[in-house]
């Protein structure tokens, strides 16, 4: 019965949306560019101080290292599609991080942030083995088409929560910051706000502040990655439509959205919104709904490669592109190299299975998919 139910869900979520007979495969991978855990040493000090490891992000999620990127590119480049093109990631990335040093100099009373290349330079100075070539490899990955980043927000934290916890000298936040990290915070103090979700809110009018963060963030994205982003996925996967106007004015044409969205309308009240790939809002922006999940280092008691292939098969059955959702943590090895190896092994197996089962499969980035959707709109 569980298998029947699972197959039914796989098919139901693909019944509505933009269609194509081409077998398109997209990898939408969140959290690139974000400093969550500084190092294994930091993880151990935080654990000793009582900060709990609640999930894989608390355990392994660190800024991508030189080796993380080198090994990822090897896997992506090892499998070619119908057109002779290698696999590609669309990393939803952050152009800015906490400036831990500047905050420490001011005794952590005020929030300061810095652009990603500065973060990499500081880490390269501290740990040249892990980070010495990382930013150069990022630029090489963009140049060679392994990575086509899109906008995931300016930083991966909720400023309302962050600033209030600074003012209250929250022990967990102080401990994390002193270890150049922002992880293992047990609660946000608001039922509707995750401490890592940049655009979560309690009062609806808090969305007004997000306008300048979005504008500044998209400008920073262009300076850091070398081009304007046209696709947005909010950190934590939640945002209110009020910010879509600001995104639109800044050039964002595509917005990630869940199939069934619980949209917060303020003070803990929600409405349910149904989405599908190709759906347009009143501004003409197009929603993209990820219809495949691939989190190979998360232990759910099943074979991730086979489960992901079943999801892709369902997408293709309904003439839908397979838009695969994943996270950087699956390919991180700075805290534990075995975590990275597990994720990359699964990725390599998945890519090989895709081109074997569907020789006419095509690897694309989200910008290319967006162009196709607009072409047929």
List the CATH number of the domain containing 366: 3.20.20.370
What global pTM score does this model have?
Answer: 0.96
How many domains is the chain partitioned into structurally? 1
**What is the Cα–Cα distance from 175 to 248, expressed in whole angstroms?**
38
Helices (H), the chain: 2-12, 40-48, 56-60, 66-77, 100-105, 116-126, 128-131, 134-143, 159-167, 171-178, 207-225, 244-249, 304-317, 337-357, 366-376
Tokens matching residue 175: 């401990």
* 39, 13 Cβ separation under 8 angstroms: no
Residue 236 has a pLDDT of 86
In the chain, which residues have pLDDT < 70? Answer: 1, 3-4, 377
Residue 1 has a pLDDT of 43
Angle at 209 between CA 207 and CA 213, to 5 degrees: 110
**Long-range contacts at 78-83 (CB < 8 A, ≥ 24 apart):** 78/348, 78/351, 79/348, 79/351, 79/352, 79/354, 79/355, 80/355, 81/25, 81/355, 81/361, 81/362, 81/363, 82/359, 82/360, 82/361, 82/362, 83/362
Q: Which domain holds residue 204?
A: 2-376
Residue 6 has a pLDDT of 76
Tell me the pairing of strands 96-98 and 113-115: antiparallel
Give the contacts of 37 (CB within 8 A, at least 6 positions apart): 43, 58, 60, 61, 62, 181, 183, 334, 335
Angle at 72 between CA 254 and CA 40, to 5 degrees: 100
**What is the Cα–Cα distance from 363 to 377, expressed in whole angstroms?**
21
């Amino acid at each position: 019965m569980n298998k029947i139910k699972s197959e039914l869900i796989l098919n139901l979520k693909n019944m509505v949306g933009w269609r194509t007979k081409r077998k398109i495969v997209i990898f939408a991978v969140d959290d690139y560019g974000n400093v969550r855990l500084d190092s294994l040493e930091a993880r151990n000090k935080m654990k000793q101080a009582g900060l709990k490891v609640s999930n894989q992000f608390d355990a392994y999620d660190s800024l991508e290292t030189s080796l993380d990127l080198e090994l990822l590119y090897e896997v992506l480049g090892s499998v070619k599609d119908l057109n002779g093109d290698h696999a590609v990631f669309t990393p939803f990335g952050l152009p800015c991080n906490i400036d831990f040093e500047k905050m420490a100099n001011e005794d952590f009373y005020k929030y300061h942030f810095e652009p990603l290349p500065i973060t990499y330079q500081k880490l390269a100075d501290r740990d040249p083995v892990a980070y010495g070539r990382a930013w150069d490899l990022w630029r090489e990955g963009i140049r060679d088409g392994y990575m086509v980043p899109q906008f995931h927000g300016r930083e991966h934290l909720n400023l309302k929560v962050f600033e209030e916890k600074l003012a209250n000298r929250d022990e967990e936040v102080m401990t994390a910051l002193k270890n150049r990290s922002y992880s293992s915070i047990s609660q946000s103090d608001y039922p509707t706000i995750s401490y890592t979700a940049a655009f979560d809110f309690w009062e609806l009018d808090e969305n007004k502040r997000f306008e300048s963060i979005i504008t500044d963030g998209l400008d920073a994205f262009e300076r850091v990655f070398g081009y304007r982003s046209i696709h947005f996925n909010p950190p934590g996967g939640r945002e209110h439509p009020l910010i879509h106007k600001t995104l639109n004015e800044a050039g964002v044409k595509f917005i990630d959205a869940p199939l069934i969205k619980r949209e917060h309308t303020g003070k803990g009240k929600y409405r349910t919104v149904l989405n599908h790939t190709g759906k347009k809002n009143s501004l003409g922006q197009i929603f993209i709904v990820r219809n495949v999940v691939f989190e190979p280092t998360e232990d759910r008691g099943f074979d991730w490669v086979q489960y992901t292939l079943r999801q892709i098969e369902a997408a293709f059955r309904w003439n839908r592109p397979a838009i695969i959702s994943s996270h950087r943590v699956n390919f991180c090895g700075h805290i534990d190299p075995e975590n990275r190896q597990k994720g990359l092994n699964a990725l390599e197996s998945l890519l090989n299975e895709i081109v074997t089962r569907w020789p006419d499969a095509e690897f694309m980035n989200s910008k290319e998919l967006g162009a196709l959707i607009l072409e047929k709109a």
